[in-house]
Amino acid sequence: MKYFKGIIRQVELLMIICLMITAGITYITQLGVTDSSVKENMELIAGQIAMETIDSVKEYPTYHWLLRYWYEHADELDIEYDVDFGNGTETEDKVFLFYKHHPNLNIKYINIDEVKALPPEDQKLYAEITYSWVTTRVNQIKRSYMIDFLFCVITDCDEGKNPYSTQFFIFSGADEGAKRGTEYAEVYPLGKLVTVEENSSQQIAMKTAYDNAREAMFKGSQHVSISHIAYAGYYVDYYAYLDKIDDKAVLLGMTYDQSALNSNIHEQARSSTFLTVISQLLLLAIVMYAVYLSVLRPLEGILHNIRLYTKTKDSKTVNANIARILADKTSLAARHNEIGELSDNIVTLTNEIDDYVDRIENITAEKERIGVELLLASRIQASMLPSVFPPFPERHEFDLYASMTPAREVGGDFYDFFMVDEDHLGVVIADVSGKGVPAALFMMVSRLIIKNHAMSEKDPALALASANNQICAGEHEDMFVTAWLGILEISTGRLIAANAGHEYPAVKDPDGDFQLYKDRHGFVLGGMVNMRYKNYELQMKPGSKLFIYTDGVPEATNEQKELFGTERMITALQQHQNERTEDILHGIDLAVYEFVGDAEQFDDLTMLCLEYRG
């Protein structure tokens, strides 16, 4: 009994120490969590305000024209600031005058062509009216959300022109009765130029908002932020991207002062921590008694039997001993807490270990079955691609050979060639994003789609555009395809091709060497609907050769993490450039194999070589 009392005292002391540590951690954590929550809510609210303000600008179809006009004619405009909508204002008189000149136009819904058709004086009138309306709406938003500052500025974003060092104010929200002017404490009017070279936090916030927007536009994603929030002491600077005029970014800005809010947060955290410590001290005695009954006594017996099992592996004896421990009257609580669960788990574990060998055998057999199925899938995939060479033995005007080596049992690369008609040969090579079975399934669908459109369109650019729309219309789990499609006019050697984000082809003239032909890349297939692709022409002469491939060739990696690269590929091509198409591909295969060595192949290796004989 003294042993148990000693343990209880040790646990009690440990719990008191932990209680003190917990109190400090609780205080710090509550401050951090609360600050984080405030920041998250502030970002969310700032984002909502930004979107509401941006929408108030973009509700005008000509907003891009308006931003440029306000910027370029700031000194010429006669602006009426901070007016209410209604009669008796200069803006209302301007609206009346505008409708008098153009009764069939609606100011809020004028499009860009209609604005450009207006006389210069009416363009100026339109710009003044919309500016007053936008400013009034921005005032309403500022006052509704009680923001310290709400404004729109234009700043240089060209890295070569001291970017983000100045702010040209387009509009600013004002509280009721606030004075507009160019002094520091006043609300800045249109055309006010402010230097922020010494304010690094604002410069960083503006740059990050612009960079985020550019990344979002590049990725075509709605989940990439187009804004940025920066903290400088108790002040918060928030910038969101609105538009771009030439090499200048149009940004929406906000500033908050959260000093009072932070003071309240700290006071609440201190009060909460104090109450937590008092309540934990009162509960400590009860907890210690519960720990003794529900943990210490039964835990020693269970630990003894765990050691017994590690020595004897006698699951029956161990399970019987544990059952007796839990049947004791003093272990009533243990039967219904984690100790009871632990006991049940130990009993279950000993029984599972007895069956472990049988399960391993079953798993091994299942892996063998999956291996057989993947081998069958690889054979099915290989049978989908043309594999008989020469593919058109009756046609002596050209020679063609292709190969694909998947990185796994099945892969996502493919090649294809087919006669569009008696005088036109279609050639395709493509690379599906991803690896394994999903990529292989998507590959087979994409191959059929591209081939069908190439046969019907007979124009590579149109065929890729139609294939892209059909692929985008399907459920492809965010997968995409890079593809190169060419159609050779056999009688003349004229090759028309288009590239959808694929690798550059390599071309050899009859009396020259292989060289990369840096064609114009279009967007990948399956990435975005209604994309356009551009044809280009290659004139192949008797003896000319074309080599197309997937990124598995230049991106093959050796054990030193070096890439095979296009330079080594061109060198290997030149070493075999006077050989048959089949021998050229075997030469590239050998060069890649010798370079990679024992490193694992991470990407499919797919190549096609075409020789025009005339």
Q: CA-CA distance, 132 to 84, in Å (whole number)? A: 9
pLDDT digits (tens, 9 = 90+) for 495-538: 999 999 999 999 999 999 999 999 999 999 999 999 999 999 99
Q: What percent of the chain has pLDDT over 90?
A: 46
Specify the higher pLDDT residue, 185 or 357: 185
Answer positive or negative: Cα dihedral of 80, 85, 86, 91.
positive
Sheet of 398-405, strand order: 398-405, 605-612, 545-549, 506-508, 514-516
Average pLDDT over residues 383-410: 85
| Token pair in block for residue 105 | 């136009």
Residues forming a β-bridge with 563: 557
Average pLDDT over residues 7-25: 69
Average pLDDT over residues 354-379: 63
Torsion angles phi and psi, residue 527, rounded to 5? -90, -40
Q: CA-CA distance, 105 to 80, in Å (whole number)? A: 22
pLDDT digits (tens, 9 = 90+) for 397-445: 999 999 988 776 566 789 999 999 999 999 999 998 877 778 778 888 9
Average pLDDT over residues 360-382: 62
pLDDT at residue number 286? 74
Torsion angles phi and psi, residue 613, rounded to 5? -105, -15
Average pLDDT over residues 318-337: 65
The DSSP annotation for 65-91 comes to HHHHHHHHTTTT-----S--SSSSSHH
Which domains are seen in the chain, by residue range?
Answer: 25-257 (no CATH), 262-354 (no CATH), 385-612 (3.60.40.10)
pLDDT at residue number 513? 95
Whether the predicted pLDDT of 333 surpasses 60? no
pLDDT at residue number 223? 46
pLDDT digits (tens, 9 = 90+) for 576-585: 999 999 999 9
Specify the higher pLDDT residue, 440 or 26: 440
Side-chain-side CA neighbours of 601 within 13 Å: the count stands at: 23
Largest CA distance in the chain: 104
Q: Are 609 and 429 in contact (CB under 8 A)?
A: no
Q: Are 453 and 393 in contact (CB under 8 A)?
A: no
pLDDT at residue number 271? 72
pLDDT digits (tens, 9 = 90+) for 205-235: 888 888 888 888 777 655 445 557 766 666 7
